[in-house]
Chains A and B, each alone.
Chain A
Amino acid sequence: MKRLAITLCLMAAALLSSQSYARDVTLTTELKNYGGDGAYLAIYLTNAQGQYQKTLWVAGKKLKYYKHLSGWARGSGQRKSEYDGLSGASVTEGKTLTVTLDLPDTYIDAGFQLHVDTAVEDMRDNRNDVVVPFTSEGVDKPNNGRGYIKTFTYSF
């Protein structure tokens, strides 16, 4: 009986602690009606100096356009391993892209920044359409974009 209680306690502790190591993060990007084709987006993390750390999502299928997401393309070197399993279709104007992923807690409130680069065929590329600090404080606060993004919000 006692051993069972201990086991349960340990399991609960393990569970709790593992919860505190990673979190489900939801990223919501709503686009403006910019009057063009589907947008390519790259959402990624940099450190406080702006150096690339990790890709969170790439929207858009054609590799030949990736170089137009120039901040991300440089940081990630467009290596497949960087975005494997983290890509999807391009996003039509006016539509909202929502992605949810598992992210280690160590990125939160530790000076990291979320960046979104956007590009649309025959229109300008927007490096840093959105740049926001990745903090608990910023949860659910919409951020306006400078380019094709109307608002960008994250929550966890």
Chain B
Amino acid sequence: MLRQFHSLSGLIATLFVVLLTISGAVLSLDPLLERSQAKIAGTSSISVAELAGKLITRYPGTEQIQRHPSGSIIVYFTDGDQTGADLINPLTGATIGAYSSSPIMVWIKNLHRSYLLGTPGRVVAGVAAFFMLLLTFSGAVMLINRLGGWRHIFRPIQGPFKQRLHTEVGRVAVLGLILSASTGLYMSAMTFELIPDYSSAEPGFPTHVDGGVPASIDTLSALKVIPITEFRELVYPYPDDPMGVYSITTDQGSGFVDQATGQLLSYQAYGNPQKLYEFIYMLHTGEGLWWLGLLLGLSALAVPLMAWTGIQIWWSRKQSATTINHNSAARLADTIILVGSESNSTWGFAKTLHDALHRLGFQVHTAPMNQLGHHYPQAKRMFMLTATYGDGDAPASANHFLTRLAKMTKTPDVPVAVLGFGDRQFPEFCQFAKEVEAALITKGWPQLLPFETIHRQSPQEFSRWGQAVSSVLDKELTLVHIPAHPASTTLTLVERVDYGTAVQAPTAVLRFKSPEGSHKGLLNRLLRRSGLPHFDAGDLVGILPPGSSVPRFYSLASASKNGVLEICVRHHPDGVCSGFLHGLAIGDTVEAFIKLNPSFRPASGKAPIILIGAGTGIGPLVGFIRNNKAHHPIHLYWGGRSPQSDFLYETELKRYLEDQRLTKLNPVFSRISQGAYVQNKITEDDVELRQLIGEGAQFLICGGRNMASSVAVAVDKVIAPLGGDVATLKAQGRYREDVY
């Protein structure tokens, strides 16, 4: 909901908010520029009388003297028929130069306040400030939710590059943006008199004036006691008007001064509303507070960047989302489908079910499981389709489901059928779906159909489940699921290196490129594009083996900027996809697509990185080392079977040690005399590892899940003396796994 609101307001307001912030950022330089021209050092002891006295001979036609918040002193004068304004050095009274507000700044200010459109433009600018405030707040709440609460606000942010940029920049700029937008909104409301006028009463014009011969201005006692740091404006009387007076304005109030006696004739201090207005005005413009102005200007500059990344995030999300047509409102629907999915394939199944039910005349509402509602007035039946992730954990669109359910005191009295999607290769097969089913039973929620599972997105199993649904509906429901995959690219195998056959672990490093010709074009050549889609080491490539509708994923050992797509594949006996890949000859092609996996990356910064893997798990780890051009300290622990047969990437790793892209290489082999596994080596190196953890080290683990769990146990023991554990490191983003 919040995200939809955020995207929608963002899309509506982009253009206006971007203009507002760019112009605002330029204007934020003004206080600094003004300050740099003004001579203000050592002026605090000068009084207004002294200053005015210095101007008598040079500016006999003085009408008005002003002091800007920057400290600049400007004198307005007439000289015969001409009027003029000069910037003055308050110490000497000498002219610094003619004063005029820069026409460019005036133009930008108008752009900022009204888009150069007069009053209607000012309304739009006010509305844009309001949108900016809404966007900042909704974005801040989303960020806090995402990081898991206020207290974790400085946690590292994960996600694809653009999303990370969007949120990182937003996190830095949020306070500045709230300040700019809220003060701007206040000033706009003031312009349109939506807030009562702040102006204090003007001092009454003095009823009695001495009328004697005007004294020299530098002798006027009232002006002698005002230091110029408090001074704002002095307006001179008409020459030759015996009844004339000076009007003086300071930062405290305003009044009149008798030109003959020098007495303060009537004085009115500012009221609180005016002081408040002036304070807010200063916060918004940075006038008199140039450093704040610059900070606000910098945070305003974040907005164009966030608009650009925001639109791209919205677009890619829109592209990848499954669109459900004929989605009825929750309160009208007779059938509710709730979906738990991470990489969207379960949404595809939900859509097939939704469409089939819709064709039979049902009113169907489909939503993420996280949107479980309290009340579905018309509902007669409910379906929950959910995948399982991690080690039996919830997928993204269902990660709040169980807590939501637990909080419900009264559950809807609608019979429900749970269908789990999973993979039997994982020890916790469909574990999350099982937990959902168990929680529903505990809540006393009636059952529509017995719990069922789908292995590896099998369309056959799904259609069989459809027959069970038909029987409770008493209508013929046909579920024909044709899986939709992300648009795939054709890749050509250009190189392969084989290892491990001698130790019954046939493993190949495969390098692919875009087919010749697909990346010719001038633009591609100018951008030095390889024709490959964008990816980084640690992301995944999905490969569709011929004759199978289910893609298999492989961790990428290269980045697209390296010009090749490199994976490291272990051949499973009878494995469909690994068999297919191992059977490839140079020049053969595969169908592939990229799945970003942005959380599996080395953190930036100087802290050491500890890479741990076994077998093919070396793939992305080698990718990280290869791209470690900044020579961050990297320690690699890797386990294989025999140094003679399956020491993957041996020559490369030794080269990286020499050129210092790799700090320390710890290979471990199991099928040699006194063989060992990575976890043994980790236990052995405990002192050194604790040292590295103390320096803020980050762990990245890749490979099979048995290895990963043994490693986690070993690392837990290593950290124990430091008073931490793997779970804490995980929460800090310092322990990340890519396991299969």
Tell me the A residues contacting B by CB distance below 8 Å.
35-37, 49-51, 63-64, 67, 70-71, 73-74, 77-78, 122-128, 144, 146-147
Q: B75-99 vs A: 1/0 string, CB under 8 Å? A: 0101001110100000000000000
Residue of A nearest to B109 (CB): A122
**A74 in contact with B247 (CB, 8 Å):** yes
**A78 in contact with B83 (CB, 8 Å):** no
Q: From residue 423 to 460 of chain B, which have CB atoms closer than 8 A to chain A?
A: none
**B110 in contact with A125 (CB, 8 Å):** no
**B110 in contact with A63 (CB, 8 Å):** no
Selected from A63, A64, A74, A124, the residue in CB contact (under 8 A) with B76 is A124
A residues near B197, Cβ cutoff 8 Å: 63-64
Give the complex CA separation of A51 and B205 in angstroms: 14
In the complex, 11 of the A-B residue pairs with CB atoms within 8 angstroms, ordered by the A residue number, are A36-B106, A51-B241, A51-B243, A63-B199, A70-B235, A77-B204, A122-B101, A122-B109, A123-B101, A125-B76, A127-B235
B residues near A37, Cβ cutoff 8 Å: 110
**B64 in contact with A50 (CB, 8 Å):** no
**A50 in contact with B83 (CB, 8 Å):** no
Residue of B nearest to A37 (CB): B110
Selected from A36, A49, A64, A146, the residue in CB contact (under 8 A) with B241 is A49
Residue of A nearest to B239 (CB): A50
B residues near A128, Cβ cutoff 8 Å: 238
Known: A50-B240, A124-B85. 8 other contacts (CB 8 A): A63-B197, A64-B197, A74-B205, A78-B202, A122-B106, A128-B238, A146-B81, A147-B83
Give the complex CA separation of A156 and B702 in angstroms: 95
Residue of B nearest to A92 (CB): B118
**B103 in contact with A146 (CB, 8 Å):** no
Q: From residue 187 to 204 of chain B, which have CB atoms closer than 8 A to chain A?
A: 197, 199, 202, 204
Residue of A nearest to B236 (CB): A127
Range class of the B interface residue count: 20 to 34
Take A36-B106, A64-B199 as given contacts and tell me if A146 and B82 are in contact as well, using a CB distance cutoff of 8 Å: yes
Take A122-B106, A123-B101, A124-B85 as given contacts and tell me if A71 and B64 are in contact as well, using a CB distance cutoff of 8 Å: no
**A50 in contact with B247 (CB, 8 Å):** no
B residues near A127, Cβ cutoff 8 Å: 63-64, 235, 238
Tell me the B residues contacting A by CB distance below 8 Å.
63-64, 76, 78, 81-83, 85, 101, 103, 106, 109-110, 197, 199, 202, 204-205, 235, 238, 240-241, 243, 245, 247
Take A70-B247, A78-B202 as given contacts and tell me if A125 and B81 are in contact as well, using a CB distance cutoff of 8 Å: no
Selected from A35, A64, A77, the residue in CB contact (under 8 A) with B106 is A35
Residue of B nearest to A146 (CB): B83
A residues near B245, Cβ cutoff 8 Å: 74
Residue of B nearest to A74 (CB): B205
Minimum distance in angstroms from A47 CB to a CB of chain B: 11
Give the complex CA separation of A50 and B241 in angstroms: 7
Considering the complex of A and B, which 4 residue pairs feature the smallest CB-CB distances, nearest first?
A64-B199, A146-B83, A77-B205, A124-B76
B residues near A126, Cβ cutoff 8 Å: 83
Minimum distance in angstroms from B665 CB to a CB of chain A: 67
Give the complex CA separation of A50 and B240 in angstroms: 9
B residues near A78, Cβ cutoff 8 Å: 202
Minimum distance in angstroms from B451 CB to a CB of chain A: 71
B residues near A146, Cβ cutoff 8 Å: 78, 81-83
B residues near A77, Cβ cutoff 8 Å: 204-205
B residues near A122, Cβ cutoff 8 Å: 101, 106, 109
Residue of B nearest to A73 (CB): B202
Give the complex CA separation of A82 and B103 in angstroms: 36
Selected from B76, B81, B106, B238, the residue in CB contact (under 8 A) with A50 is B238
Residue of A nearest to B119 (CB): A38
Give the complex CA separation of A77 and B110 in angstroms: 32
Selected from A49, A50, A67, the residue in CB contact (under 8 A) with B202 is A67
B residues near A51, Cβ cutoff 8 Å: 241, 243
Minimum distance in angstroms from B240 CB to a CB of chain A: 7
Minimum distance in angstroms from A68 CB to a CB of chain B: 9
B residues near A35, Cβ cutoff 8 Å: 103, 106
A residues near B240, Cβ cutoff 8 Å: 50
Residue of B nearest to A35 (CB): B103
A residues near B76, Cβ cutoff 8 Å: 124-125
Minimum distance in angstroms from A118 CB to a CB of chain B: 11
Residue of B nearest to A49 (CB): B241
Minimum distance in angstroms from B506 CB to a CB of chain A: 78
Residue of A nearest to B81 (CB): A146
| Max chain B C-beta neighbours (<10 A), residue from A49, A71, A73, A124 | A124
Give the complex CA separation of A51 and B240 in angstroms: 11
Give the complex CA separation of A37 and B204 in angstroms: 29
